[in-house]
Amino acid sequence: MPASVDAPPAGAPSYRGCLRPGWVTCLFISSDVFSLLVQSSGAGLMASSSSASGANLGKTIITAGLAIQLVFFFCFLVITAHLHRTAYGGAAGAPYRAVFCCLYACVALLTVRNCYRVAEFQQVGGR
C-alpha cells in the first residue's frame, strides 16, 4: 500500500499539535510581518509628526507592535515546547536535542532583546 502524501517520512514522529505544520509557518510569518508593519507605522508617525501628541501616539504604536511581537514569541515557544515534549519525548538522548536547545536559546535572546526595546521606548521615547 503506497504511503499517503500527508504521512510523515519513515521514522519521523507524527504531528500531534493543535495546528498543522503549514498553518504554524503561515501564522508566525504573517504575525511577524504584522508586528513589523505596526512598528514601522508608529515610527513613520513619530518621525513625521510636528506635535508632541503625534510623537507620543507614534511611540505608543511602536510599543504596541513590540508587545504584539512578544506575544507571538511566547506562542511560538509554547508550540515548540509542546512539539518537543510530545513528538520527541523531551528525552536527553533524542537526536534533535541540540536543535531544540539552540532554538530555546535563540528565542530567549530575542525575547530579552524585545523586552529591552519595550523598556527603552517607554523610558526615553526611542530617540
Name the strand (E) or helix (H) holding 16.
Answer: none
The pLDDT tens digits of the residues spanning 50-73 come to 888 888 899 899 999 999 999 998
Q: How many CB atoms lie within 10 A of CB 65?
A: 23
> CB under 8 Å to 105, separation ≥6 — which residues?
none
Total residue count of the chain as it appears in this document: 127
CA distance to 62, 70, 74, per residue, from 40 (Å): 7, 16, 22
The pLDDT tens digits of the residues spanning 17-55 come to 666 777 888 888 999 999 999 999 999 998 898 888 888
Looking at residue 37, its pLDDT comes to: 96
pTM of the complete model: 0.72
Residue 100 has pLDDT above 90, yes or no: no
CA distance to 26, 48, 98, 121, 127, per residue, from 117 (Å): 26, 21, 29, 6, 12
How many Cα atoms are found within 13 Å in the side-chain-facing hemisphere of 15? 14
CA distance 5 to 93: 30
> CB under 8 Å to 14, separation ≥6 — which residues?
8, 87
Average pLDDT, integer, range 93-122: 84
